[in-house]
Structure 1
Amino acid sequence: MQKNAPATGPEDDASYLRRVRLRDRPNPAPRGIYDLAVVGAGPAGMAAAEYAARLGFSVALVERDHLGGNSLNTGSVPSKAIIRTARLYGAMRNADEYGAPAPYEPALDFSQAMARMHRIRTRIAAYHSADDLATLGVDVFFGSARFTDARTLAVNDARLHFRKALVATGARPRTLDVAGLDAMGCYTSATVFGMAALPKRLAVVGGGPLGCELAQAFCRLGAHVTIVQNNAKFLPREERDAAEILSRAMARDGMEIRLNTTVVGARRDGAAKVLETVNYDVKGEVRADEILLCVGRTPNVEELGLEQAGIAFDREKGIEVDDFLRSTNAHVYAAGDACLALKFTNAAQASARIAVRNALMRARERHVDIATPWCTFCDPEIAHIGLQVWEARRQRIAIKSFTVMMQDVDRAITDGEDTGFVKIHIAEGTDRILGATIVASRASELINEMAVIMSAGIGMKALAEMVHTYPAQSDAIMLAAQAWRREFDKAVRAAPA
């Protein structure tokens, strides 16, 4: 049984609901055949609807819950707001390192921290509100959508006919099939931001991006956090040295870490919730006041009538699409978490725009050709783009990596944020950049520079000559390129005349 988020004052006011859910306004009357019908108004659906409408196409957008999807309501926006509070609170404890007076025991008002998160969520909701969509010409329908045939959607009592459709229904938190866990009550990412009070003891199950982010944030806010990960390292998509730096950082924060540990049962012991665990053959337990499950996401593909529209799908992987995001129904495309393995907001938005161009403008853009950066917003942040080392080995691509430690970057030293590195992977024998991993306090910003560099086809030779502001943490990128240039120049000098 998942915990239900308690009612929160700021979220109940008319301004928030006016932006994300117009319960009292009737749906518009369908108008003929829509150029594009979009199912789901999360990041992918909103991006597609707005983009198509601005291009002059007629658009219907269907949402069964709240506009903005997980990203706005239960994902990126609220989590980053809480992480910001946690980072500030953690820094206050170390103020004396910077010559500032350190409070003996900083007082945290958890309800005010959550209220700030609600205000931020309401403010951001204004940029993609139902009223703004209507002004663009998008017909917004609230209700559950279901395909009745290859070219028709049913929404409540209405029928929406379309030339093309886009399924962007996102994904939901996955749960664990563990005896006793469901009856005990657990939070997931869908409910944790309705938490009314900070638990004294919090058990986090799952060491992926969201699990690590929230575990570190709640630890810094004052909870005793135990994180349980069934893998040998955190962040399985990241390089081992990056994951190791994060593990050490979380241990320094006071977190209790259980790697290679599987939850096999759950029970109550008085007021305590107890997770029964196994580490190899050793049995153990984790005692907590609350449990947070962060064990992946499942695509929302049920109850859409996909079979009636001839759309193939898998309950775990989502809708089956080709490289152009077209489903097995040539009139229906998919984007975002409903079909992609990378379940990130930026990937969802980018895939949605590609789908619109392919569906309505006869483009032939392949979503697999995009180098999508991602970031885990812990402290330090861990970001990546492009090819991973193990992918290069599997594809038999010879690479060479150039690494600059943040402890050698002037701005990182002055900021007292010198943990981490910038590592850039090059196709051996060339200056072509294939990928990069960045571990730094501002990795989420630094990786965007790498995204521009790679998208523009800029190589290490040109990058080494680019002038950066000084001092800046992005100097690490320039220093890596200059290291490549020194090696290149040395090879040129050593070559026979």
Structure 2
Amino acid sequence: MVSQIEVAPFDKHNQILVSNAHPPDWQNPTPDGPYNLLVIGGGSAGLVAAVGAAGVGAKVALVEKHLLGGDCLNVGCVPSKTILRSAKAVGDIRHAAGVGVNLPGDPTVDFAAVMERMRRIRADISYHDSAQRFRDAGIDMYLGTGRFTGRHTFEVDGRTIEFRKAVIATGSRAANIPIPGLKEAGYITNEGVFELTERPARLAIIGAGPIGLEMAQAFARFGSEVTVFDIMPVMGGLRDPEGIALVREALEADGIQFYLESQTQNVARQGDGKVITFTHAGETKIVTVDQILLA
């Protein structure tokens, strides 16, 4: 039996997610090797490799130690785009007058409901990345932590898997930026942001890449005061000057404050807040926030 994995908050939606993507009652098969292909990692790349190989008749084993579906299902594409759909609705309402639709007042956002909707949709989709579905496709699914024990052997859950070729598709994790005091003050990454049930009133986002900008716009529209920091002079890796100007104008219209070409010096707790000290345009400044997202 595999180890129990919990995803916060462990409500009915996340319980369904886990029951599909890492079922606690899963029984790993008895190795039937040598396998033509061993796939290590059950994210988008690993699942596609495994299904593709099995589809042409290969004997395939797949090993995953956490949740099947990887970044895309659990902490990337699916939850982020679900949240962005709610943020888009806020934007549409605020700009409705521009298309001749007049609505009274400013929209109010039930953040807890937004996040529950995300968890529900993610749970509904999770069957498509489930252990059972891929076992039904003819793939031997092993859930657990493994290690290579030889050139053509791999051990997981006390079982030795023999294989001819292997695909390592273990993915990556958010970088740990060495900012003094950051670890002690506390922060979240693209993993933790989708576990939130309460909206931070003041949110700092360190990193103006695609994830940072997506979450910046979403949380700003939900009502958070959002500040984005980046050491680079442009956001999102954009190169076209007109594109950069359009994106920045749109995000600033949502109330987002940018400090590009800034250097974060340190972070310190102060009461319930987190004080960020940084340099920008030759000056030392501070911003106090409730949560920090590394993106």
Q: Same fold (TM over 0.5)?
A: yes
Give the partner amino acid of 2:26: R
Query: Which of the residues 12, 15, 22 maps onto 1:10?
Result: 12
How far residue 240 of structure 1 moved from its aligned partner, in angstroms, is 3.2
**Equivalent in the alignment of 2:161:** 160
Q: Deviations over 1:295-335 (max 9, x none)?
A: xxxxxxxxxxxxxxxxxxxxxxxxxxxxxxxxxxxxxxxxx
| Distance (Å, rounded) in 2 between the aligned partners of 1:271 and 1:233 | 32
| Distance (Å, rounded) in 2 between the aligned partners of 1:182 and 1:27 | 37
**Equivalent in the alignment of 1:205:** 206
Give the partner amino acid of 2:47: M
Structure 2 residue 71 is matched with structure 1 residue 70: yes
Which aligned pairs between 1:333-348 and structure 2 lie closer than 5 A? none
**Equivalent in the alignment of 2:53:** 52
Identical amino acids, percent of aligned pairs: 36
How far residue 99 of structure 1 moved from its aligned partner, in angstroms, is 1.8
**Equivalent in the alignment of 1:142:** 143
| Distance (Å, rounded) in 1 between the aligned partners of 2:111 and 2:82 | 13
**Equivalent in the alignment of 1:22:** 23
CA pair 58-103 structure 1, distance change in 2 beyond 3 A: farther
SS in 2 for 1:187: coil
CA pair 56-161 structure 1, distance change in 2 beyond 3 A: same
How far residue 34 of structure 1 moved from its aligned partner, in angstroms, is 0.2
| Distance (Å, rounded) in 1 between the aligned partners of 2:114 and 2:67 | 23
CA pair 232-21 structure 1, distance change in 2 beyond 3 A: same
| Distance (Å, rounded) in 2 between the aligned partners of 1:5 and 1:217 | 22
SS in 2 for 1:227: strand
**Equivalent in the alignment of 1:327:** none
| Distance (Å, rounded) in 2 between the aligned partners of 1:281 and 1:5 | 43
| Distance (Å, rounded) in 1 between the aligned partners of 2:219 and 2:229 | 15
How far residue 256 of structure 1 moved from its aligned partner, in angstroms, is 0.8
Q: Deviations over 1:347-405 (max 9, x none)?
A: xxxxxxxxxxxxxxxxxxxxxxxxxxxxxxxxxxxxxxxxxxxxxxxxxxxxxxxxxxx
| Distance (Å, rounded) in 2 between the aligned partners of 1:145 and 1:11 | 28
Contact (CA 8 Å) 1:94, 1:102: kept in 2 or not? Answer: no
| Distance (Å, rounded) in 2 between the aligned partners of 1:95 and 1:32 | 61
Which aligned pairs between 1:185-224 and structure 2 lie closer than 5 A? 185-224=186-225
CA pair 238-124 structure 1, distance change in 2 beyond 3 A: farther
| Distance (Å, rounded) in 2 between the aligned partners of 1:237 and 1:30 | 48
Larger relative contact order, structure 1 or 2 (CA cutoff 8 Å, min sep 6): 2
Which aligned pairs between 1:80-479 and structure 2 lie closer than 5 A? 80-294=81-295
Contact (CA 8 Å) 1:10, 1:118: kept in 2 or not? Answer: no
| Distance (Å, rounded) in 2 between the aligned partners of 1:260 and 1:5 | 36
Q: Deviations over 1:254-291 (max 9, x none)?
A: 11111111111001222221111112431111211111
SS in 2 for 1:91: helix
How far residue 5 of structure 1 moved from its aligned partner, in angstroms, is 6.7
How far residue 128 of structure 1 moved from its aligned partner, in angstroms, is 2.4
Higher gyration radius (CA): 1
How far residue 132 of structure 1 moved from its aligned partner, in angstroms, is 1.1
CA pair 238-23 structure 1, distance change in 2 beyond 3 A: farther
**Equivalent in the alignment of 1:314:** none
Contact (CA 8 Å) 1:92, 1:103: kept in 2 or not? Answer: no
CA pair 128-95 structure 1, distance change in 2 beyond 3 A: same
Deviation larger for 105-114 or 38-47: 105-114
Give the partner amino acid of 1:198: R
How far residue 154 of structure 1 moved from its aligned partner, in angstroms, is 1.0
How far residue 12 of structure 1 moved from its aligned partner, in angstroms, is 3.6
| Distance (Å, rounded) in 1 between the aligned partners of 2:292 and 2:163 | 44
Give the partner amino acid of 1:265: N
Contact (CA 8 Å) 1:36, 1:58: kept in 2 or not? Answer: yes
Give the partner amino acid of 1:196: T
How far residue 239 of structure 1 moved from its aligned partner, in angstroms, is 2.7
Contact (CA 8 Å) 1:233, 1:244: kept in 2 or not? Answer: no
SS in 1 for 2:279: strand
TM-score normalised by the chain length of structure 1: 0.57
Contact (CA 8 Å) 2:7, 2:14: kept in 1 or not? Answer: no
Contact (CA 8 Å) 1:8, 1:194: kept in 2 or not? Answer: no
Contact (CA 8 Å) 1:204, 1:293: kept in 2 or not? Answer: yes
TM-score normalised by the chain length of structure 2: 0.94
| Distance (Å, rounded) in 2 between the aligned partners of 1:204 and 1:193 | 15
SS in 2 for 1:207: coil
Give the partner amino acid of 1:148: T
CA pair 10-90 structure 1, distance change in 2 beyond 3 A: farther
Give the partner amino acid of 1:10: K
SS in 2 for 1:120: helix
Contact (CA 8 Å) 2:28, 2:142: kept in 1 or not? Answer: yes
CA RMSD of aligned residues (A): 1.5
**Equivalent in the alignment of 2:3:** none
How far residue 28 of structure 1 moved from its aligned partner, in angstroms, is 0.5
Contact (CA 8 Å) 2:204, 2:226: kept in 1 or not? Answer: yes
Contact (CA 8 Å) 1:6, 1:196: kept in 2 or not? Answer: no
Unaligned runs of 5+ in 2: 1-5
